[in-house]
Structure 1
Amino acid sequence: MVMREPVVRVFSAVTGETLSVLGTVFLLSTSVARLMTLVSQQCGLPVSSFRLSSPTGLQLYDWNRLHDYAIDLGATLRLDTWDGWAEFLRGCFLGHRLTVQRHLSRERPVMRFQLRVALYIAASLGHLDLAGWLLERGVRVIEPVGVHPYREWCHQTAHPDVAKCPAVASIERGQLTILKLFIASSVLTLACRDPQGRDPLRIALQYGHRECVSHLATRLCSVVVLPGMALPMRTYLQIKGWVRLGQRRAASRHCMGLNRAPFRTRVGDTVLVDDFTLPKMSSKPRRSEAKAGIRIPWLQQLNVAQTLARRSAQHIG
């Protein structure tokens, strides 16, 4: 029996709004991962950009079930994002490109992750200007959002939806204009897959987005004209896929296989260990020094200290 009242509510620390998750009472016995997927689809955030916690403040982990946390019918959960990300995500929700630019991280791996998150949100909410700017920055529409660099080491326990790409998000939400932009940017959008292995046309059919279905079917039935030949779109997509796979393998060999390893954390990088390190997903605002981008390497710190010591000695003398 479908409930008229929400099974659970989710308060978003990013927007200050409360989402209502509808369904049956059996949702309380499902996995946290399933709830994360439902919340992601409703609010437009990729699952790797937020966490959920119980009314008592306990973090909900994907591999557990909701009843493990004694969550009652109608309970209000809390959605938090990475510390220092609230302003960035609000800019993404509003489609404000300048706000997104201003609040990008100074850490390059984190910034690249943020750009993928931003394109995913733009695809979900239909922000054409933001999506176009991100494509100009080189963000790929068929590249999975993935996980935060702080959690790359634990990729084996990551939520399956971290493999979802912005192109899939646009189809799930029925964003036809964004979908057309993505196809124009990369024809391989027509051949992308979601974590369950479904192609774009099947996804659009399942969600009942008729305009997306019509556009995808038209493009898939079209012909690609090349010098001296004409190929059906499906054949052309297969060839493009083979070429892309060959390029990736060649790049992996050239880099001595480093690109094949999902574990890219290096000595000195921040890593998060569940239940052992303090969470960095409590929606805390950015500190003033982080906003200004002030980062002084240890060698520069040493030089500054030596300069101050010399000036102090000269003053005393």
Structure 2
Amino acid sequence: MGNFFNEAFVRNPLQFVIGKNKSCDFTSIQEALTHCSNIEKPITFIILSGEYNENIFLYQSNRKLLGIGTVRIIGNKYARQLDDHGCEIGTFQTATLFINAENVWMENIEIVNNAGHGEAVGQAVALYNEGNEVIFKNCLFKGFQDTICLGPLPDVQKDGTPFSKPEIIMDYPKNRVTFIHCYIEGTVDFIFGGGEAQFEGCELKSLNRPNNQPGYITAASTPNGKKGFLFSNCYITADPNVANVYLGRPWRPYANVTFSQCRVGSHIHSDRWDDWGKKENRETVTYRESKNSYFQKSPVKKIEWIQIETE
């Protein structure tokens, strides 16, 4: 993927500027993407500082979006919000940014869903990715419950009904995503889904929940045999007074998550992992910890059903 971005974008220097003043090509990010939807060659969009209150659907491959200064994309949709027929829109229609494309690079952009706590509004997604070979560098993702969803989703919901989600034009055999030096915050399952994702040098910050309820960083639904989530050299932090946060729980039985060489704060529950109330999940999940640094008030427990290397 690196060769693609280093060569193709230099070879085809098509570029547009998005901003709030008259000198820019577009004032809206979605307007710019839609206008260029029939252009197949690589395009770079320079986004000037400012707040962009819009929900974005990115279906075009071979795109770079580069923020200058403080660029904030803000949405406020939430799962309990009612549609025109009086029905709740559900989790996957709430994303501030939805991606169903390949070879996408986003840098220095803040993606926010500010609908509020899940206890009040239900899930509210900042990023929902159904793309492949997507890179985020120096980006911020802000929300509460379900901040980042990394597809693919399971075939059906746990009750057997289909998911309500944006139109997926292209199904990719792999859904690989990389986060480099990004900041991600949330309360419950704030990084979840079935995608293959690598997080390098990122900060994962747990926010306060009402009534000091426990928090969960990951809720993977990894398909059987897939790689899942890898967190390497990350910083696991929290707001003041946050406690009893778990590294993860399995949204589906083959959840696969690894934390390697991370700095883990004292807000993490001494058990570190939760089985979502089903002991049978312990037979199928793959949870690994390797060479992490734990800042705990009490010794770190050894959990027999988790693969741990604590050297």
Q: TM-score, length-normalised on structure 2?
A: 0.32
Name the larger-Rg structure: 1
Q: TM-score, length-normalised on structure 1?
A: 0.32
The answer to which structure, 1 or 2, has the higher relative contact order (CA under 8 A, 6+ apart) is: 1
Bigger helix share: 1
